[in-house]
């Protein structure tokens, strides 16, 4: 009987560990908590899109990607915007070689991500080298 309980406990612990590292399950708040994002995989790469905004409208109209350097994309709504792109697995709890787009400035940066706990993801955007950049802390929303 002890063996059965041990095996069940081990399986539950493994399931929790694996699900805690799968950032595609559920949604995440950005650092300011004014947006939620959802991660998804396509062709072995990780992407993230905005799925909720605290204030999705301005003057009764959806917020747009007004600072995008591409004039054709300035009329695209922020809700649904894919702003994290092309991340590759970089370890058990890390993703690397992606990009992060900042809709507040219209700029895109190189980016890496690291899951520091089941409820916190550090997303680092940088220019050229990791030392020249900023880290945002995303928190699990659900």
DSSP string, 51-93: EEESS-EETTEE-B-TT-SSGGGTTSBSTT-EEEEEEEEEETT
Q: Quick: pLDDT tens for 106-116.
A: 999 999 999 99
Q: Quick: pLDDT tens for 10-21.
A: 333 434 344 446
What are the sequence ranges of the domains in the chain? 23-140
Q: What is the mean pLDDT of residues 21-36?
A: 95
Please report, rounded to a whole number, the percentage of residues in the chain having pLDDT higher than 70.
Answer: 85
- The topology under which CATH files domain 23-140 is Lipocalin (2.40.128)
- Buried (b) or exposed (e) across 17-55, using 16+ Cβ within 10 A? eeeeeebeeeebbbeeeebbbbbeeeeeebbbbbeebee
């Amino acid at each position: 009987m002890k063996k059965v309980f041990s095996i069940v406990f081990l399986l539950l612990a493994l399931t929790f560990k694996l699900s805690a590292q799968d950032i595609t399950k559920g949604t995440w708040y950005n650092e300011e908590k004014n947006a939620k994002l959802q991660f998804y995989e396509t062709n072995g790469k990780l992407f993230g899109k905005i799925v909720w905004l605290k204030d999705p409208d301005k003057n009764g109209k959806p917020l747009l990607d007004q600072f995008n350097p591409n004039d054709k994309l300035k009329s695209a709504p922020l809700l649904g915007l894919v702003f994290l792109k092309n991340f590759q697995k970089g370890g058990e709890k890390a993703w690397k070689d992606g990009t992060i787009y900042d809709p507040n400035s219209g700029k895109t940066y190189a980016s890496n991500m690291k899951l520091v706990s089941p409820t916190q993801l550090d997303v680092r955007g940088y220019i050229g080298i990791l030392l020249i950049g900023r880290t945002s802390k995303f928190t699990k929303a659900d």
